[in-house]
């Protein structure tokens, strides 16, 4: 969720920032007391898919330019992109929690900084009080980042073999979810929803989509999958997954079907000239700006929404006023984090091969602010 969709200054992958914006907005709406009505988990699935698609696209480009993948430089870029904002948010949110009289569990702090939050959600959720359980998805992505470069380095010269390996890993993830649901149905919803081995397939499906785009033989599939009728069918399948309420389906097949159904519309929006009106909306300045802030929004929004709710209760405000305050605090914190933490680090990332100019994201944000001003 935290990768940059601008491969080089002035050469963005269309629609990705807009898709990222819609995903974080879906997550935030869900966490505004609407978990039972708004599929915030699907927003995370989209984040996962985009991450796999984008990271794979970047690695393929690097391999074509240099003949290899600089794994150490990749790790440094990931570290510089993800860790500084995470550390700042954990420290500040934890400090506010303690100042308000809460107890901070060092296990939760260590789990957040070691990217093990998803397993703490399963084994010791109380340890995450004052930290934020939403960090589980960052752990899944980080585990992917640790292993995927080596897989790409070994198998990218053989794309068909790489695709088969990724497909087998996706099937294994589904098999694990089914096994958990059959063996321990009472634990399946929680475990299958956050464990790396159960959710990494959404990222891998994104990687498979990127391989299709990059492979000349895969262009036939891209042409077929991006036909309007196929896109419409994929969207209908997505809608059906929201309507099916069976718990076995929701903890097993739902994640696979949703990830597969994302292939068609995301390829159509990012890799073809189809649906220009939709792409124009996704590439609009407000959505691009929100997409750029999406990582910081994800880090800060849960604490901000909780604070807004607490203030509303203390001052006897309507619930809607507390939610509005929480959203305002989330965007303010994300903006400050971007300006004070993320943006200064961009220059360091360029030393390790980042293809994003330090001023580019800020320029997009300033253009968005100007466009939305009265």
pLDDT tens digits for range 285-314: 999 999 999 999 999 999 999 999 999 999
Among 78-87, 319-328, 359-368, the least confident range: 359-368
Of 257, 119, 122, nearest to 184 (Cα)? 122
Q: Alpha-carbon distance 80 to 360, whole Å? A: 17
Q: Alpha-carbon distance 136 to 148, whole Å? A: 19
Mean pLDDT (whole number) for 36-61: 96
Can you give the pLDDT at residue 212? 96
Mean pLDDT (whole number) for 336-358: 76
Look-up of token digits 């790409």: 152
Under the banding of pLDDT at 50, 70 and 90, the label for residue 157 is very high
3-class DSSP assignment, residue 6: strand
Under the banding of pLDDT at 50, 70 and 90, the label for residue 354 is low
Contact (CB, 8 A) for 301 and 28: yes
Of 258, 284, 279, nearest to 269 (Cα)? 279
Can you give the pLDDT at residue 345? 87
Sign (positive/negative) of CA torsion 75, 76, 79, 81?
negative
Under the banding of pLDDT at 50, 70 and 90, the label for residue 14 is confident
Sign (positive/negative) of CA torsion 334, 335, 341, 344?
positive
Sign (positive/negative) of CA torsion 277, 5, 330, 359?
negative
Q: Which two tokens stand for residue 84?
A: 């500084």
Where are the strands (E) in 281-323, listed by range?
Answer: none
Q: Alpha-carbon distance 330 to 333, whole Å? A: 5
Mean pLDDT (whole number) for 148-170: 96
Percent of the chain at pLDDT above 90? 85
Flag whether pLDDT at 204 surpasses 60: yes
Q: Which two tokens stand for residue 231?
A: 């896109």
DSSP string, 6-38: EEETTEEPTTHHHHHHHHHHHHHHHTTT-TTTS
For residues 371, 51, 116, 294, the Cα torsion angle rounded to the nearest 10 degrees is 0
Can you give the pLDDT at residue 41? 96
Q: Alpha-carbon distance 144 to 206, whole Å? A: 12
Look-up of token digits 């003949």: 67
**How many other β-carbons are positioned within 10 Å of the β-carbon of residue 132?**
24
Task: Enumerate residues 6+ apart whose C-beta is below 8 A from 143.
Answer: 115, 196, 200
**How many other β-carbons are positioned within 10 Å of the β-carbon of residue 222?**
19
3-class DSSP assignment, residue 7: strand
Backbone torsion region of residue 357, taken as left when φ is above 0, otherwise alpha when ψ lies between -120 and 50, otherwise beta: beta
Contact (CB, 8 A) for 327 and 290: no
Can you give the pLDDT at residue 13? 82
The phi and psi torsions of 151 (rounded to 5 degrees) equal: -65, -45
Q: How far is CA 89 from the centre of its chain?
A: 17
């Amino acid at each position: 969720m935290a990768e940059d969709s601008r491969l080089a200054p002035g050469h963005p992958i269309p629609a990705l920032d807009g898709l990222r914006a819609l995903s974080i907005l879906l997550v935030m709406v869900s966490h505004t007391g609407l978990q039972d009505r708004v599929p915030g988990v699907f927003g995370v699935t989209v984040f996962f898919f985009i991450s796999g698609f984008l990271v794979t696209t970047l690695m393929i480009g690097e391999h074509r330019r240099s003949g290899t993948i600089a794994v150490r430089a990749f790790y440094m870029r990931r570290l510089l992109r993800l860790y500084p904002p995470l550390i700042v948010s954990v420290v500040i949110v934890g400090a506010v929690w303690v100042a308000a009289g809460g107890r901070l569990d060092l296990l939760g702090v260590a789990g957040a900084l070691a990217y093990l939050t998803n397993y703490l959600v399963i084994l010791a959720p109380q340890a995450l009080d004052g930290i934020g359980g939403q960090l589980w998805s960052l752990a899944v992505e980080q585990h992917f980042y640790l292993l995927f470069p080596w897989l790409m380095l070994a198998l990218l010269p053989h794309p068909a073999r790489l695709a088969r390996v990724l497909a087998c890993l996706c099937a294994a993830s589904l098999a694990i979810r089914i096994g958990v649901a059959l063996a321990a149905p009472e634990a399946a919803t929680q475990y299958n929803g956050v464990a790396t081995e159960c959710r990494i397939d959404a990222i891998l499906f994104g990687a498979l989509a990127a391989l299709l785009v990059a492979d000349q033989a895969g262009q036939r599939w891209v042409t077929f999958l991006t036909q309007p009728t196929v896109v419409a069918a994929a969207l209908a399948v997505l809608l059906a997954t929201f309507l099916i309420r069976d718990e076995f389906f929701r903890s097993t097949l739902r994640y696979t079907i949703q990830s597969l159904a994302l292939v068609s519309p995301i390829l159509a929006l990012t890799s073809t000239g189809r649906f220009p009106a939709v792409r124009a909306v996704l590439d609009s300045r407000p959505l691009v700006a929100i997409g750029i802030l999406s990582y910081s929004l994800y880090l800060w929004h849960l604490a901000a929404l909780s604070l807004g709710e607490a203030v509303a209760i203390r001052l006897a405000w309507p619930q809607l006023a507390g939610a509005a305050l929480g959203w305002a605090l989330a965007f303010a914190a994300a903006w400050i984090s971007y300006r004070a933490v993320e943006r200064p680090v961009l220059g360091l990332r360029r030393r390790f091969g980042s293809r994003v100019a330090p001023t580019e994201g800020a320029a997009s944000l300033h253009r968005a602010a100007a466009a939305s001003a009265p």
